[in-house]
């Protein structure tokens, strides 16, 4: 294998494993020794690729977490169809993935936002970048749907986006404790009901 490709594969493996480790234990409860043990690496090999634990985590955010969020919650709602249908399907699929995750610790982005808030401005900046992209994408999708006549013309798209993001973080946290499938079912029922309240109503003949 070409040296560049081999190094890229090694970095990908390290970052994927590192994300799972930080997700499970938390950043501040994970030591460099924990990382080395999990990756079966020497300190020399680790520091050949990364400057520090923080650098390792930031690269995980940029190369893994951002991509996961994009594929799970951003890309699925892009398009010109009814945004409420797209978002409903997107949340349905994202939550179903969580239902079948036996090592679920809630919303990974939400967990890290809580862990680093007030403790590490550098990492928070990278995490908030993902939040901002998600929010902008939601607002843009909703505004497009409003323009195309799917949403009531009085709908505050920024407020709807904030509501959707906070409710997603919340249900993902609740699904960890017990009965994730039932919680998902109830949440999706309420989401559909909420969407009916902001969709454009057919004009009576």
Q: Tens of pLDDT along the chain (205 residues)? A: 577 777 777 788 888 889 989 988 999 999 999 999 988 888 998 898 899 999 999 999 999 899 989 999 999 999 889 999 999 999 999 999 888 775 555 688 999 999 999 999 999 999 999 999 999 999 999 999 999 999 999 999 999 999 999 999 999 999 988 899 999 999 999 999 999 999 998 755 5
pLDDT for 16: 87
The CATH number for 156's domain is 1.10.357.10
pLDDT for 105: 59
Global pTM reads: 0.88
Residue 168 lies in a domain: yes
Residue 93 lies in a domain: yes
Give CA torsion, residues 62, 63, 69, 75, to 10 deg.
Answer: 110
Residue 79 lies in a domain: yes
pLDDT for 181: 93
Residue 16 lies in a domain: no
pLDDT for 102: 57
pLDDT for 12: 84
Q: Is 52 helix (H, G, I), strand (E, B) or coil?
A: coil
114 lies in which domain range? Answer: 52-198
pLDDT for 152: 95
Residue 14 lies in a domain: no
- Where are the strands (E) in 6-127, listed by range? none
pLDDT for 1: 53
pLDDT for 186: 97
Residue 22 lies in a domain: no
Residue 77 lies in a domain: yes
Give the whole-angstrom CA distance, residue 89 versus residue 174: 20
Total domains present in the chain: 1
Give the whole-angstrom CA distance, residue 17 versus residue 27: 13
Residue 24 lies in a domain: no
pLDDT for 142: 97
């Amino acid at each position: 294998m070409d040296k560049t490709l081999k190094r890229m594969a090694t970095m990908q493996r390290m970052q994927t494993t590192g994300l799972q480790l930080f997700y499970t234990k938390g950043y501040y409860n994970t030591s460099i020794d924990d990382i080395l043990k999990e990756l079966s690496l020497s300190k020399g090999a680790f520091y050949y690729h990364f400057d520090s634990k923080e650098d390792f985590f930031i690269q995980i955010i940029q190369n893994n977490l951002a991509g996961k969020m994009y594929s799970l919650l951003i890309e699925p709602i892009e398009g010109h169809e009814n945004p409420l249908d797209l978002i409903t399907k997107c949340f349905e699929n994202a939550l179903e993935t969580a239902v079948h995750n036996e090592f679920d610790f809630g919303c990974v982005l939400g967990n890290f936002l809580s862990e680093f808030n007030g403790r590490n401005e550098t990492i928070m900046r990278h995490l908030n970048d993902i939040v901002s992209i998600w929010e902008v994408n939601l607002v843009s999708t909703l505004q497009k749907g409003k323009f195309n006549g799917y949403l009531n013309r009085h709908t505050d798209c920024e407020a709807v986006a904030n509501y959707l993001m906070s409710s997603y973080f919340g249900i993902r946290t609740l699904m960890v404790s017990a009965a994730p499938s039932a919680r998902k079912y109830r949440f999706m029922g309420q989401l559909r009901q909420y969407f009916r309240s902001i969709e454009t109503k057919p004009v009576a003949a």
